[in-house]
Structure 1
Amino acid sequence: MRAGSLRGNPWAVLVTLSSGFFMTLLDLTAVNVAIPSIVDDLRASLDEVLWVINVYVLVLAALLIVFGRLGDARGPRTMFIGGVALFTAASVLCGLSQGATELIAARALQGLGAAALMPQTMAIIIDVFPPARRGAALGVWGAVAGVATIAGPTLGGLLVSTAGWRWIFFVNVPIGAAVLAMAATLVPGGRRGTRHKLDLPGVLLAAAALAGLTFALTEGQRYGWNAGIWALLIGGALLLAVFLVHQRTRQRGEPLLPFALFRDRNYAVMSFVSATVQVGMIGLFLPVMIYLQSVLSFSALEAGLVMAPAMIVSALLSPVSGRMADRVGGKYVLMCGLALFAAGLAWLSWITAVGRTWWDLQPALIVAGLGIGCVFGPMVAVAMYGVEPRMAGAASGVLNTIRQVGTVIGSAAVGAVLQNRLAASLHDEAARQAAGLPSGIRERFVAGFDDAAKGGLEVGRTGTAFPPPPGTSAGLAHQLQQTAVSVFEHGVVRAVQPTLVLPIAVIAIGAVLCFLVQRRDVDSPRTAVDASPGRPGYDDR
C-alpha cells in the first residue's frame, strides 16, 4: 500500500504519533540505567546526574501547556514535526557531551523538543479518530506511555552495555528521522484556525516555581539543607500559590490552567493520580537501578534485563486492562493496579539486601508490573471520558503537564531522600565496620566516607572512598579495600529501603482517591468518547 493512500488514515497517524511519544518517554527511564556509567565517564556527582534527569522533565512540565496552545494556533502537525526535529538534534548533542554541564544543557533542549511534540499527539488523535473509536485510540496512547516507561531500563541497559551510555541518545536519531518522514507523509495538515494569547506571566511563574522547588530538593543535601535551600523551597511554594491565584484571575480569558476542567471530578482525580503514578515510577527506577548496578554488580544490560519480565507483563496486560475497565468500571481496575504497584514496591523494599540474585527480585517486580499494566490505559480513558470535545486539547495539555510535574517533583524528592539517607547510612556503616580496623586509621576511614557521601555515587565499589595510606602493608590494604566495599554496599541498601517508602505512600494515596471516581452513564451528553456497542460507557458501580 502506498504512503499516499495511508495519509490521514487514523491508525497510521496513531502509529506515527505513538512513535514520537514513545521516543520522548523512553529517555526518561533509559537515563536512569545509565547513571553509574555517566558518573564514571564524566566524573559527575549524584546531584549533577539528578539534574540530567530533572532538567529534561522541568522544561517539559513548564512548557507543555504553552506548546499545546501554540499547536492550536500554528497547527498541531507543524508543532509535532518541529518538536521531533528539535528533540532529535538535541539527542545528538547529548551523545556528544564531554561534561556534566554540557549534558544538562543538551537535556534541556531535549525537554524543549518533547514539550513541543507531546501535547500535539493527543490533540491530533482526537481530531482524526471518530468518537466511537477515540476511546480505543486513547487507550493505545496510554499503553504506549506505560510500555515506554518500563522498556527504558531494558533497552537502555542493552545500549549502555554494548555500545556505551551515549547511545541511549544516539539511538533517537534513526527513530526521529523515521517519525519525521512518517509525519510528513501520513499526518494530515491544516490549521485549527484558533488564535490564542500567550499567558507569559503564567509561564514565568510556573517555570520559576518548579525550578525553585526542583533545585532545592536536588541540591539540598549538597548544601547541607542550609537557610538558602529552605528559602528556595518556601519561595517555590509561594510562587506556585501566586501562579494559581493568577490563573484564577484569568479564567474568563485564556488561562494556562483552565479551572473549568476540574469541575469534572473524574478528570480532577485522574490528574492527581497521574502525578502519583509518576512519583512511583521514579521511585522504582532511580534507587533500584542504583542498587542493581552498585550493590549487586549487575551490568547495565543485566540490570535492564532484571526489569524485562515486569515490562512484558505490563505490556501484555495494558490492552486487557482497558477492556476490563469497560466491563467492571475504571476506578476498580485503577485501584487494583495502584494497590499492586505499591505492594510490589513494598515487597522490593523488604527483600533488598546485599548478595541477592536476579530471581530473588522477580516476584516483587512482576507484582509491580501487573499493577503498572492496569494503570496507564484506564487512567487516560477515565480522565478524558467526561471532557467536552471542545476542551480536549486543553485537557490533554493539562493532564500531560500534571503528569510531568509529578515526575519533576517525584524525581527531586526521591533523589533528595536518597542522597540524605545515603550520607547518613554511609557514615553509620563506616563507623560500625571501622571497629575491626587498627585504631590509628579508624577516624580517617569514617571521615573518608563522610567526604565521599557528598559526591553520592562517586564512592563506587572499588573502595576509593578511603585509599590506603602510603606504606600500608598489602594485607592491611586489602582489608581496607574490602571493608570500604562492604560499607558502600550495606550503606546503599540501607539508603534504598527508606527511599522506597516515599513512592509507596504516594501511590497508596492515589489508590484511595480512586474511590472518588464517579459513574458515567452510557448516554451521557458530555462524553468525549461516544458510547457504542463495542465500547460501553464507564459504569463504576
Structure 2
Amino acid sequence: MSRHAPLLWTFVVTSLAAFMVSLDNLVVSTALPSIRADLGAGLEGLEWTVNAYTLTFGVLLLTGAALGERYGRRRTLVAGLALFTVSSALAALAPGIGALVAARAAQGVGAALVMPLTLTILSAAVPPQRRGAALGVWGAVTGIAIAVGPLVGGAVVEGWAWQWIFWLNVPIGLVLVPVALLRLPEQRTSGRRALDLPGLALATLGLVGLVLGLVRGNGHGWTSAGVLGSLAAGALLLLAFVAWEARTAEPMVPLGMFRSRGYTAANVLSLLFSFGVFGSIFLLAQFLQTVQGSSPFEAGLKTLPWTAMPLLVAPVAGPLSDRVGGRPLLLVGLVLQAAGLGWFAATLSTSVSYAAQVPAFVLAGIGMGLVFVPLASVVLGAADPAYAGVASGTNTTFREIGGVFGVAVLGTVFSSTGGYGSPQAFVDGIVPALWVGVAVVLAAAACAVLLPGRRATAVVPVGEPVLAA
C-alpha cells in the first residue's frame, strides 16, 4: 500500500463527513413548502424543523470536541456518524412534524460530534508544511455543501419526495462508518479536557427556553403564562450559565477570552450576521415557491447567485485579507449583505420578476463571501493562542445560535404581519421581516468597526496526537 494511502483515506472520510453534516444546514430550506403541505405543519413546526438541527449542533460543538479528546477522536467521530445516519433515516420515516423535529434534533447531536473532529483529525494527520492546503480544501468542501444545499434539496424534492433529502445521508453514513473504523488511526492528545456537564445543561436549556418562547409568541400570545415563563426561564438559565462558567475550574467557554474587545466583537458580529442571513433565507426560499410558483429545484437554482457567490469571492478575499486585514473586508461585506436584504425588502411583491431579484442575490452573496473568509482569522488573531480550538468552536457556536434566533425572530415578525393564507399575505409578512434582518446585519457592521486593525498573525500550530491502535 502506498505510504500516502492513510492520509488519502483520512482526507476522504473527513471531507465527506463534513460535507454531509454541512449540507443539512440548508438542504431542508427548499423542502419546507413540501413538508408543510405533506405533514400539515404550521410556521412553528417549520421553524423547529430548521432550528432543532442548528440548535443542538451549535450548543454541542464544544462538547463534541471535548469528547473526542477524552475518548478518542476516531471513536467519537464514528459514534457521531452512526447517530447522524440513524437519525436521518428516522427523519425520512417521520409520520408527523413532531417526529421530524425530534429526528432533526438527533441529527444535530450527531453533527456536533462529527464536525469539529473532521477538522482536528485531518489537521493532525497532515504534515505541517501541507496543512494549510489540506485545510483549505476541507473549507472549500464545506463551503460547497452550504452553497448547493438549497439546490440539492430542491432537486431531490422535485425528483422524488422531501423524505429523500434525509434518505441520501443513509448510504453515505453506512459506508463512512466502517471505512473510518478500518482506515483511520485512533488519535488521543496527552491531556484530556474535562466535560462541563452543568454548563452544557444550563446553556442548552436556556437557549431552548428562549427559542421556544419566541417561536410560540404569536400563536399563544406574548403575555401568556407559557410564553413569558419560557422566555424568563431561558434568560435566567443563561445567566446561571455565565455565573457557572465564571467559577468552574474547567469551563465549556472560558469567559476570560471575552476580555479581548476584538474577540467579543467578532463573536457578536458572527451571531448578528447569521441572525440576519439565515432568518432571511428561511423566508426567501419559501417566497420563491409559495408566491412565485417556482418548483423546489427552480427555487434552489434561483438562490445560487447568493449561496454560491462565496466560492467565487473566496480566492480574491483571502489574499486581500492578508494585505489589508479582516476589518475592512468584514465591514464592506456586511454593508453589501444589508444592501442585498434591503433590495429584497424594497422590491418584493406578488408580481416582482426574478430578474429584479438577481442584483439582491448577488449583493448578498458577495457580502457573505467577504464575511466568511476573514472571520476565522480575525477570531483566532484576537484570541489567546492557547485557546485557539476553543475560540474557534465558540465562534462557530455563536454563528449557529445566531441562525436559530434569526429563524425564530424573523418568523415571528412574518407571522405577526402576514402568513400563508395568500401570496399577498406572504408578502405582507416577509417584507417587514426582511427589514428587521437589514437592521440586524447593520448592527453586525457596527461591531466590525470595533475590531482591531490589521496586525500580523502567527499560524497556531496544531498539537500532534498520540496515536493508538
The reply to whether TM is greater than 0.5 is yes
Indicate conservation of the 8 Å contact 1:94/1:106, yes or no. Answer: yes
Question: In the aligned structure 1, how far is the partner of 2:186 from the partner of 2:2?
Answer: 15
> What is the aligned partner in structure 2 of residue 482 from structure 1?
none
C-alpha displacement of 1:354? 0.8
Indicate conservation of the 8 Å contact 1:310/1:370, yes or no. Answer: yes
**Could you list the runs of 5+ residues in structure 1 that have no partner in the other structure?**
423-455, 460-487, 531-541
Question: In the aligned structure 1, how far is the partner of 2:325 from the partner of 2:130?
Answer: 19
Indicate conservation of the 8 Å contact 1:387/1:527, yes or no. Answer: no
1:80 alignment partner AA: L
RMSD: 2.4
1:500 is aligned to 2:434? yes
Match of 1:335 among 318, 326, 331: 331
Query: Which structure has the larger Rg over C-alpha atoms?
Result: 1
C-alpha displacement of 1:261? 2.7
2:4 alignment partner AA: S
Q: How does 1:287-302 map to 2 (within 5 A)?
A: 287-302=283-298
Can you list the C-alpha shifts for 1:180-204, whole angstroms capped at 9, x where unaligned? 4554466442211323332222111
**TM-score, normalization by structure 2:** 0.91
1:227 is aligned to 2:225? yes
> What is the aligned partner in structure 1 of residue 306 from structure 2?
310
1:491 is aligned to 2:425? yes
Indicate conservation of the 8 Å contact 2:203/2:238, yes or no. Answer: yes
Match of 1:512 among 425, 446, 456: 446
> What is the aligned partner in structure 2 of residue 121 from structure 1?
118
Question: In the aligned structure 1, how far is the partner of 2:355 from the partner of 2:142?
Answer: 26
Q: Say if 1:62 and 1:302 are closer, same or farther in 2 by CA, change over 3 A.
A: same
C-alpha displacement of 1:352? 0.5
Question: In the aligned structure 1, how far is the partner of 2:126 from the partner of 2:3?
Answer: 18
Indicate conservation of the 8 Å contact 1:57/1:111, yes or no. Answer: yes
* Farther off after superposition, 151-160 or 401-410: 401-410
Q: Say if 1:529 and 1:319 are closer, same or farther in 2 by CA, change over 3 A.
A: farther
Question: In the aligned structure 2, how far is the partner of 1:268 from the partner of 1:375?
Answer: 16
Q: How does 1:160-239 map to 2 (within 5 A)?
A: 160-180=157-177, 183-184=180-181, 187-225=184-222, 226-239=224-237
**TM-score, normalization by structure 1:** 0.79
Name the SS of the counterpart of 2:219 in structure 1.
coil
C-alpha displacement of 1:69? 1.2
Q: Say if 1:128 and 1:209 are closer, same or farther in 2 by CA, change over 3 A.
A: same
1:149 is aligned to 2:83? no
Indicate conservation of the 8 Å contact 2:7/2:126, yes or no. Answer: no
> What is the aligned partner in structure 1 of residue 465 from structure 2?
none
Q: How does 1:448-467 map to 2 (within 5 A)?
A: 457=420, 459=421
Question: In the aligned structure 2, how far is the partner of 1:309 from the partner of 1:282?
Answer: 15
Question: In the aligned structure 2, how far is the partner of 1:295 from the partner of 1:415?
Answer: 17
> What is the aligned partner in structure 2 of residue 278 from structure 1?
274
> What is the aligned partner in structure 2 of residue 323 from structure 1?
319
Indicate conservation of the 8 Å contact 1:386/1:528, yes or no. Answer: no
Q: Say if 1:268 and 1:120 are closer, same or farther in 2 by CA, change over 3 A.
A: farther
C-alpha displacement of 1:345? 0.9
Can you list the C-alpha shifts for 1:383-428, whole angstroms capped at 9, x where unaligned? 1245455423322322222222112222211221122122xxxxxx
2:371 alignment partner AA: V
In the comparison of the two structures, how many residue pairs are matched? 461
Q: Say if 1:158 and 1:182 are closer, same or farther in 2 by CA, change over 3 A.
A: same
Match of 1:344 among 336, 340, 343: 340
Percent identity over the alignment is 38
C-alpha displacement of 1:65? 1.8
C-alpha displacement of 1:219? 1.3
> What is the aligned partner in structure 2 of residue 402 from structure 1?
398
> What is the aligned partner in structure 1 of residue 44 from structure 2?
47
Can you list the C-alpha shifts for 1:288-346, whole angstroms capped at 9, x where unaligned? 11211111111111111111233332212123211211122111112211111111111
C-alpha displacement of 1:220? 1.2
**Could you list the runs of 5+ residues in structure 2 that have no partner in the other structure?**
463-469
Name the SS of the counterpart of 2:292 in structure 1.
coil
Question: In the aligned structure 2, how far is the partner of 1:279 from the partner of 1:67?
Answer: 23
> What is the aligned partner in structure 2 of residue 82 from structure 1?
79
Q: Say if 1:259 and 1:131 are closer, same or farther in 2 by CA, change over 3 A.
A: farther
Indicate conservation of the 8 Å contact 1:126/1:392, yes or no. Answer: no
Question: In the aligned structure 1, how far is the partner of 2:378 from the partner of 2:312?
Answer: 20
Question: In the aligned structure 2, how far is the partner of 1:133 from the partner of 1:264?
Answer: 31
Q: Say if 1:377 and 1:132 are closer, same or farther in 2 by CA, change over 3 A.
A: farther
Name the SS of the counterpart of 2:303 in structure 1.
helix
Indicate conservation of the 8 Å contact 1:139/1:380, yes or no. Answer: no
Indicate conservation of the 8 Å contact 1:83/1:116, yes or no. Answer: yes
C-alpha displacement of 1:144? 4.5
Name the SS of the counterpart of 2:428 in structure 1.
helix
1:6 is aligned to 2:20? no
Indicate conservation of the 8 Å contact 1:8/1:186, yes or no. Answer: no
Question: In the aligned structure 2, how far is the partner of 1:74 from the partner of 1:4?
Answer: 27
Q: Say if 1:132 and 1:383 are closer, same or farther in 2 by CA, change over 3 A.
A: farther
Question: In the aligned structure 1, how far is the partner of 2:270 from the partner of 2:136?
Answer: 15
Indicate conservation of the 8 Å contact 2:279/2:408, yes or no. Answer: no
1:240 is aligned to 2:238? yes
C-alpha displacement of 1:246? 1.1
Q: Say if 1:18 and 1:360 are closer, same or farther in 2 by CA, change over 3 A.
A: same
C-alpha displacement of 1:512? 2.1
1:244 alignment partner AA: V
> What is the aligned partner in structure 1 of residue 354 from structure 2?
358
Indicate conservation of the 8 Å contact 2:330/2:374, yes or no. Answer: yes
Question: In the aligned structure 1, how far is the partner of 2:113 from the partner of 2:13?
Answer: 15
